[in-house]
């Protein structure tokens, strides 16, 4: 409501109950699947040297050009909050000397200084996977299968998967020049943005949403015609492998990735329940030169906020608040103090237990027990303290009986 120091920064949100429970469920589902694929967690710093991202992602990309949170530390070093996870993961894996065969996932916040809108935050969260190893269609297909299985586990198998290739590094000049030459013929018909893209990022023109440009793109020869034969065969192979896995992927020549490190296979999953920002996951094969060595791998990242939006659009609600087995109701100051001790005893016995220490009326405390969804309410006053008992009420039936305090844990743990 206000912009004071007590409200979060634009595009950055607090996340707590009840939504956090859906996040926890989604994360637990993903971890279970990842274990099946022998992919282990990697946690890297969210702050890195700016040069890491410039080198890995590409100096000319939009992400590096205008979307990074970059600042100088006290020593004048340029630091950046990670805008994506691959660069840091590769850096970390090189650091520990990991080689082809490393299989890791990461889960955490990423930062991009964009204008917030539906499905786009400045701090957002990704689940990413990196499978290191040299190019092999089977490796790419396995990676896509993993992503698809995670989405399916979440109930998002109605996502749409699009597939394409960037070709190899060697193909890039031919693709750029070929595309540029064909586009130059229609230059004047392109929108302003695209005319500018022509020189620096001709591939981006394919992605333009302007109706006029889209029509022109439709008339262009397939991107693959500019690629070497081997690159085309690689894409065909991945597509064939996916259909053998019953994964439906549409080969789409207009699919583009924004980061420079991709080569060969690229893909993206969009979800029909989302708005303008409908990509829930994207990935590809990459090749990153790090300190004189070349790291090859294949990976993807899933945007968790968008996953939550898709789930909510599908009517998936956060799991319910965990209800306490028993709620302690205190009559008088002595009982209140004694109930604190009792609560700890119950918890030591593994019994989820709630109470309030406000000294309010029994009526108010019972109301709190009801609201918390407690199965039982245990009432204690001076009389019960003297007798070593409590009045135990079963909330659903309203039945009430006297139970020895020493037996309370056993009774409330047993069948209601």
Partner RNA sequence: GUGGAUGUAGCUCAGCUGGCAGAGCGCCAGGUUGUGGCCCUGGGUGUCGCGGGUUCGAAUCCCGUCAUCCACCCCA
247 vs 368, which CB is nearer to RNA? 368
111 vs 234, which CB is nearer to RNA? 111
CB of 345 closer than 8 Å to CB of 405: no
250 vs 364, which CB is nearer to RNA? 364
Q: How many CA atoms lie within 13 A of 137 on its CB side?
A: 19
For residue 218, give Cα distances in angstroms to 187, 193, 212, 360: 15, 18, 10, 72
3 state SS of 237: helix
32 vs 367, which CB is nearer to RNA? 367
Tell me how far, at minimum, the Cβ of 203 lies from RNA, in Å: 9
61 vs 224, which CB is nearer to RNA? 61
Tell me how far, at minimum, the Cβ of 379 lies from RNA, in Å: 3
Give 216's contacts (C-beta < 8 A, 6+ positions apart). 186, 189, 190
Structure-token match 């004189």, residue found: 292
CA distance 96 to 280: 31
Tell me how far, at minimum, the Cβ of 278 lies from RNA, in Å: 7
- Write b or e for each residue in 240-261: b if 16 or more Cβ atoms lie within 10 A of its Cβ, otherwise e: ebbeeeebebebbbbbbbbbbb
Token pair of 252, please?
């789409």
CB of 147 closer than 8 Å to CB of 281: yes
Nearest CA-CA partner of 12 in 69, 86, 78, 71: 69
CA distance 175 to 196: 18
Tell me how far, at minimum, the Cβ of 234 lies from RNA, in Å: 21
Tell me how far, at minimum, the Cβ of 213 lies from RNA, in Å: 9
Tell me how far, at minimum, the Cβ of 405 lies from RNA, in Å: 13
Nearest CA-CA partner of 167 in 101, 235, 113: 235
Tell me how far, at minimum, the Cβ of 308 lies from RNA, in Å: 10
Q: How many CA atoms lie within 13 A of 28 on its CB side?
A: 7
76 vs 398, which CB is nearer to RNA? 398
Q: How far is CA 87 from the centre of its chain?
A: 17
Tell me how far, at minimum, the Cβ of 75 lies from RNA, in Å: 27
CA distance 132 to 43: 16
75 vs 371, which CB is nearer to RNA? 371
395 vs 411, which CB is nearer to RNA? 395
152 vs 293, which CB is nearer to RNA? 152
Tell me how far, at minimum, the Cβ of 342 lies from RNA, in Å: 14
Token pair of 190, please?
């392109």
226 vs 267, which CB is nearer to RNA? 267
Nearest CA-CA partner of 379 in 371, 394, 34: 394
Q: How many residues does this entry show for the chain?
A: 416
Tell me how far, at minimum, the Cβ of 228 lies from RNA, in Å: 24
Tell me phi and psi for residue 29, to 5 degrees.
Answer: -60, -45
């Amino acid at each position: 409501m206000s912009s004071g120091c007590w409200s979060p920064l634009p595009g950055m949100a607090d996340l707590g109950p009840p939504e956090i429970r859906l996040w926890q469920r989604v994360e637990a589902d993903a971890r279970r699947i990842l274990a099946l694929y022998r992919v282990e967690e990697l946690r890297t710093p969210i702050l890195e040297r700016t040069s890491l991202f410039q080198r890995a992602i590409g100096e000319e990309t939009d992400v590096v050009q205008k979307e990074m949170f970059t600042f100088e530390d006290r020593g004048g070093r340029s630091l950046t909050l990670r805008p994506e996870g691959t660069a840091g993961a590769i850096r970390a894996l090189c650091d520990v000397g990991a080689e082809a065969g490393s299989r890791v996932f990461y889960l955490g916040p990423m930062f991009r200084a964009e204008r917030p809108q539906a499905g786009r935050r400045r701090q957002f969260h990704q689940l990413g996977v990196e499978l290191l190893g040299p190019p092999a269609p089977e490796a790419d297909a396995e990676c896509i299968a993993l992503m698809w299985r995670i989405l399916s586990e979440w109930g998002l198998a109605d996502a749409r998967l699009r597939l394409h290739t960037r070709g190899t590094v060697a193909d890039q000049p031919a693709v750029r020049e070929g595309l540029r030459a064909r586009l130059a013929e229609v230059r004047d018909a392109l929108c302003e943005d695209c005319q500018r893209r022509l020189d620096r990022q001709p591939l981006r023109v394919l992605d333009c949403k302007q109706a006029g440009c889209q029509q022109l793109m439709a008339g262009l020869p397939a991107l693959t015609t500019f690629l070497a034969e081997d690159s085309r065969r690689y894409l065909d192979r991945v597509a064939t492998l996916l259909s053998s896995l019953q994964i439906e992927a549409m080969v789409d020549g207009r699919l583009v990735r924004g980061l420079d490190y991709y080569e060969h296979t690229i893909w993206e999953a969009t979800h029909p329940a989302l708005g303008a920002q409908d990509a829930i996951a994207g990935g590809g094969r990459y090749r990153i030169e790090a300190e004189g060595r070349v790291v090859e791998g294949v990976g993807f990242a899933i945007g968790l906020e968008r996953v939550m939006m898709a789930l909510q659009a599908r009517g998936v609600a956060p799991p319910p608040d965990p209800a306490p087995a028993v709620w302690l109701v205190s009559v008088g100051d002595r009982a209140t103090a004694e109930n604190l001790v009792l609560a700890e005893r119950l918890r030591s016995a593994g019994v989820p237990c709630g109470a309030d220490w406000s000294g309010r009326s029994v009526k108010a405390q019972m109301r709190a027990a009801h609201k918390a969804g407690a199965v039982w309410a245990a009432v204690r006053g001076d009389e019960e303290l003297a007798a070593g008992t409590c009045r135990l009420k079963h909330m659903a039936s309203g039945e009430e009986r006297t139970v020895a305090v020493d037996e309370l844990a056993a009774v409330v743990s047993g069948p209601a």
